[in-house]
Protein backbone atom coordinates (compact mmCIF):
# COMPACT_ATOMS: atom_id res chain seq x y z
CA UNK A 1 0.00 0.00 0.00
CA UNK A 2 1.31 3.44 -0.87
CA UNK A 3 1.93 6.19 1.67
CA UNK A 4 -0.04 9.17 0.38
CA UNK A 5 0.71 11.24 3.49
CA UNK A 6 4.44 10.89 2.84
CA UNK A 7 4.02 12.00 -0.77
CA UNK A 8 1.98 15.03 0.32
CA UNK A 9 4.73 16.24 2.64
CA UNK A 10 7.56 15.84 0.13
CA UNK A 11 9.43 19.10 -0.40
CA UNK A 12 9.00 21.22 -3.51
CA UNK A 13 12.22 20.61 -5.46
CA UNK A 14 14.06 23.07 -7.68
CA UNK A 15 16.37 22.65 -10.65
CA UNK A 16 19.28 23.50 -8.33
CA UNK A 17 18.10 20.97 -5.74
CA UNK A 18 16.06 18.33 -7.61
CA UNK A 19 14.04 15.58 -5.96
CA UNK A 20 16.18 12.47 -5.74
CA UNK A 21 14.23 9.53 -7.20
CA UNK A 22 15.45 5.94 -7.51
CA UNK A 23 13.86 4.10 -10.42
CA UNK A 24 13.83 0.53 -11.62
CA UNK A 25 16.15 0.88 -14.58
CA UNK A 26 13.71 -0.78 -16.97
CA UNK A 27 11.04 1.81 -16.11
CA UNK A 28 13.55 4.43 -17.25
CA UNK A 29 13.97 2.65 -20.57
CA UNK A 30 17.09 0.59 -19.87
CA UNK A 31 16.95 -2.78 -21.65
CA UNK A 32 17.75 -4.80 -18.54
CA UNK A 33 14.70 -7.08 -18.57
CA UNK A 34 15.07 -10.86 -18.59
CA UNK A 35 14.55 -10.91 -22.36
CA UNK A 36 16.86 -7.97 -23.05
CA UNK A 37 14.00 -5.49 -23.38
CA UNK A 38 12.77 -2.71 -21.09
CA UNK A 39 9.71 -4.81 -20.12
CA UNK A 40 7.38 -2.59 -22.13
CA UNK A 41 6.81 1.14 -22.13
CA UNK A 42 5.23 2.89 -19.17
CA UNK A 43 4.50 6.56 -19.90
CA UNK A 44 3.54 7.20 -16.27
CA UNK A 45 7.14 6.47 -15.26
CA UNK A 46 8.97 7.71 -18.36
CA UNK A 47 7.37 11.09 -17.78
CA UNK A 48 9.55 11.53 -14.70
CA UNK A 49 12.65 11.66 -16.91
CA UNK A 50 11.46 14.94 -18.40
CA UNK A 51 11.43 17.03 -15.21
CA UNK A 52 14.44 19.26 -14.54
CA UNK A 53 13.33 19.21 -10.90
CA UNK A 54 13.91 15.44 -10.64
CA UNK A 55 17.22 13.62 -10.50
CA UNK A 56 16.68 10.04 -11.57
CA UNK A 57 18.99 7.30 -10.32
CA UNK A 58 18.55 3.99 -12.20
CA UNK A 59 19.32 0.49 -10.94
CA UNK A 60 18.35 -3.05 -11.97
CA UNK A 61 18.93 -5.58 -9.21
CA UNK A 62 18.39 -8.63 -11.41
CA UNK A 63 20.80 -7.41 -14.08
CA UNK A 64 23.35 -6.60 -11.37
CA UNK A 65 23.06 -10.15 -10.06
CA UNK A 66 22.43 -12.26 -13.15
CA UNK A 67 23.08 -10.11 -16.25
CA UNK A 68 20.72 -9.52 -19.16
CA UNK A 69 19.25 -11.35 -20.92
CA UNK A 70 18.74 -14.06 -18.30
CA UNK A 71 16.14 -16.57 -17.19
CA UNK A 72 12.86 -15.28 -15.83
CA UNK A 73 12.70 -15.58 -12.05
CA UNK A 74 9.98 -15.35 -9.42
CA UNK A 75 9.50 -15.74 -5.69
CA UNK A 76 8.39 -19.06 -4.19
CA UNK A 77 6.98 -19.50 -0.69
CA UNK A 78 6.38 -15.86 0.16
CA UNK A 79 7.21 -12.28 -0.76
CA UNK A 80 10.41 -10.25 -0.67
CA UNK A 81 10.25 -9.73 3.09
CA UNK A 82 10.03 -13.50 3.51
CA UNK A 83 13.06 -13.95 1.24
CA UNK A 84 15.03 -11.51 3.40
CA UNK A 85 13.97 -13.48 6.46
CA UNK A 86 15.05 -16.82 4.96
CA UNK A 87 11.47 -18.10 4.60
CA UNK A 88 11.07 -17.92 0.81
CA UNK A 89 13.26 -18.22 -2.28
CA UNK A 90 13.83 -16.67 -5.65
CA UNK A 91 14.05 -19.37 -8.30
CA UNK A 92 14.88 -19.03 -11.96
CA UNK A 93 12.37 -20.42 -14.44
CA UNK A 94 14.39 -23.66 -14.68
CA UNK A 95 14.51 -23.97 -10.90
CA UNK A 96 17.96 -22.61 -10.09
CA UNK A 97 18.10 -21.01 -6.63
CA UNK A 98 18.94 -17.33 -7.16
CA UNK A 99 18.09 -16.26 -3.60
CA UNK A 100 21.60 -15.32 -2.47
CA UNK A 101 22.27 -13.33 -5.64
CA UNK A 102 19.11 -11.26 -5.44
CA UNK A 103 19.64 -10.50 -1.74
CA UNK A 104 23.17 -9.27 -2.51
CA UNK A 105 21.83 -7.12 -5.37
CA UNK A 106 19.09 -5.76 -3.11
CA UNK A 107 21.78 -4.62 -0.68
CA UNK A 108 23.62 -2.93 -3.58
CA UNK A 109 20.41 -1.07 -4.42
CA UNK A 110 19.95 -0.10 -0.77
CA UNK A 111 23.51 1.25 -0.56
CA UNK A 112 22.89 3.27 -3.74
CA UNK A 113 19.69 4.69 -2.25
CA UNK A 114 21.51 5.61 0.96
CA UNK A 115 24.54 7.11 -0.81
CA UNK A 116 22.36 9.15 -3.15
CA UNK A 117 20.02 10.23 -0.30
CA UNK A 118 17.02 9.05 -2.28
CA UNK A 119 13.69 10.62 -1.33
CA UNK A 120 11.36 8.26 -3.22
CA UNK A 121 11.63 5.05 -5.25
CA UNK A 122 9.49 4.37 -8.31
CA UNK A 123 9.72 0.68 -9.13
CA UNK A 124 8.30 -1.88 -11.53
CA UNK A 125 5.27 -3.60 -10.10
CA UNK A 126 4.88 -7.39 -10.43
CA UNK A 127 8.66 -8.05 -10.39
CA UNK A 128 10.01 -10.41 -7.74
CA UNK A 129 12.83 -7.92 -7.25
CA UNK A 130 11.19 -4.52 -7.73
CA UNK A 131 7.45 -5.03 -7.13
CA UNK A 132 5.90 -3.04 -4.30
CA UNK A 133 2.19 -3.83 -4.46
CA UNK A 134 1.68 -7.11 -6.33
CA UNK A 135 4.12 -9.85 -7.31
CA UNK A 136 3.77 -13.33 -8.75
CA UNK A 137 3.32 -16.21 -6.35
CA UNK A 138 5.53 -18.88 -7.87
CA UNK A 139 6.51 -19.31 -11.52
CA UNK A 140 4.56 -16.88 -13.69
CA UNK A 141 4.94 -19.29 -16.63
CA UNK A 142 3.50 -22.20 -14.63
CA UNK A 143 0.10 -23.76 -15.33
CA UNK A 144 -1.74 -21.84 -12.61
CA UNK A 145 -0.33 -18.35 -12.66
CA UNK A 146 -0.98 -16.71 -9.29
CA UNK A 147 -0.37 -13.31 -7.74
CA UNK A 148 0.27 -12.27 -4.16
CA UNK A 149 0.14 -8.99 -2.29
CA UNK A 150 3.68 -8.02 -1.39
CA UNK A 151 6.97 -6.48 -2.36
CA UNK A 152 9.87 -7.95 -4.30
CA UNK A 153 13.20 -8.50 -2.59
CA UNK A 154 14.87 -5.18 -3.45
CA UNK A 155 11.74 -3.15 -2.76
CA UNK A 156 11.24 -4.97 0.56
CA UNK A 157 14.77 -4.13 1.68
CA UNK A 158 14.29 -0.48 0.74
CA UNK A 159 10.96 -0.34 2.60
CA UNK A 160 12.43 -2.07 5.64
CA UNK A 161 15.13 0.63 5.72
CA UNK A 162 12.68 3.51 5.65
CA UNK A 163 12.45 4.30 1.94
CA UNK A 164 9.06 4.83 0.34
CA UNK A 165 8.26 2.93 -2.84
CA UNK A 166 5.52 3.46 -5.41
CA UNK A 167 4.98 1.66 -8.68
CA UNK A 168 4.26 2.77 -12.21
CA UNK A 169 0.65 1.72 -11.61
CA UNK A 170 0.10 3.94 -8.57
CA UNK A 171 -1.50 6.70 -10.55
CA UNK A 172 -2.88 8.70 -7.60
CA UNK A 173 0.59 8.77 -6.02
CA UNK A 174 2.17 9.72 -9.32
CA UNK A 175 -0.27 12.62 -9.70
CA UNK A 176 0.98 13.99 -6.37
CA UNK A 177 4.56 13.48 -7.51
CA UNK A 178 4.01 15.28 -10.84
CA UNK A 179 2.56 18.20 -8.88
CA UNK A 180 5.60 18.35 -6.60
CA UNK A 181 7.91 18.35 -9.61
CA UNK A 182 5.83 20.94 -11.46
CA UNK A 183 3.39 22.94 -9.28
CA UNK A 184 1.49 23.98 -12.44
CA UNK A 185 0.42 20.37 -12.88
CA UNK A 186 -3.24 20.06 -11.91
CA UNK A 187 -3.76 16.89 -9.90
CA UNK A 188 -6.30 14.51 -11.45
CA UNK A 189 -8.11 13.34 -8.32
CA UNK A 190 -9.96 10.63 -10.25
CA UNK A 191 -6.74 8.57 -10.55
CA UNK A 192 -6.23 5.67 -8.13
CA UNK A 193 -3.36 3.54 -6.91
CA UNK A 194 -2.96 -0.11 -7.86
CA UNK A 195 -4.30 -1.41 -4.55
CA UNK A 196 -7.54 0.53 -5.12
CA UNK A 197 -8.37 -1.01 -8.50
CA UNK A 198 -11.34 -3.34 -9.00
CA UNK A 199 -8.96 -6.07 -10.19
CA UNK A 200 -6.89 -5.91 -7.00
CA UNK A 201 -9.87 -5.76 -4.65
CA UNK A 202 -11.59 -8.69 -6.37
CA UNK A 203 -8.50 -10.87 -6.85
CA UNK A 204 -7.32 -10.44 -3.27
CA UNK A 205 -10.69 -10.25 -1.54
CA UNK A 206 -9.89 -13.33 0.58
CA UNK A 207 -6.25 -12.45 1.23
CA UNK A 208 -5.33 -11.81 4.89
CA UNK A 209 -2.93 -9.16 3.58
CA UNK A 210 -5.71 -7.05 2.07
CA UNK A 211 -5.63 -3.55 3.53
CA UNK A 212 -2.37 -4.10 5.33
CA UNK A 213 -0.16 -1.02 5.51
CA UNK A 214 3.33 -2.33 4.90
CA UNK A 215 4.88 1.10 4.28
CA UNK A 216 3.10 3.09 6.98
S1 LIG B 1 14.81 -6.38 -11.75
FE2 LIG B 1 13.65 -4.48 -11.59
S3 LIG B 1 14.79 -3.02 -12.86
FE4 LIG B 1 15.46 -5.05 -13.44
S5 LIG B 1 14.21 -5.66 -15.18
FE6 LIG B 1 13.23 -6.46 -13.34
S7 LIG B 1 11.77 -4.91 -12.74
FE8 LIG B 1 13.21 -3.93 -14.15
- Tens digits of per-residue pLDDT, 26-54? 999 999 999 999 999 999 999 999 999 99
Say if 174 falls within a structural domain: yes
Within 6 A (CB) of ligand 1 lie 24-26, 32-33, 39, 60-63, 124, 127, 129-130
DSSP secondary structure, 127-142, as one string: -TTT-SSEEESS-TTS
Instruction: Output phi, psi for 100, to 5 deg.
Output: -60, -40
What confidence tier does 143 reach under pLDDT thresholds 50, 70, 90?
A: confident
Domain hosting 144: range is 17-203
Minimum-distance ligand 1 atom for the alpha carbon of 68: 5
Say if 29 falls within a structural domain: yes
Q: Are 123 and 106 in contact (CB under 8 A)?
A: no
Q: What is the CA radius of gyration of the chain?
A: 16
The total of structural domains in the chain comes to 1
Q: Among 27, 34, 38, 63, which residue has the most ligand 1 atoms within 8 Å of its CB, making it the best to mutate?
A: 63
The confidence score (pLDDT) of residue 121 equals 98
The residue whose CA is least distant from atom 5 of ligand 1 is: 33
pLDDT digits (tens, 9 = 90+) for 184-193: 999 999 999 9
Compute the distance from residue 184 Cα to the ligand 1 centre, in Å: 32
Say if 212 falls within a structural domain: no
Amino acid sequence: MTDIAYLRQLRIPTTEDPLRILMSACLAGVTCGYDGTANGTYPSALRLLGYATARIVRFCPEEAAFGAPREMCDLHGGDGFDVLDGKAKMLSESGIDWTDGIIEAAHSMLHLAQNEKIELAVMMDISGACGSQVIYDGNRFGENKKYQIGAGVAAALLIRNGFKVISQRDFASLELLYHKLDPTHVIDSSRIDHHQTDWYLEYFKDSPKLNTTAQL
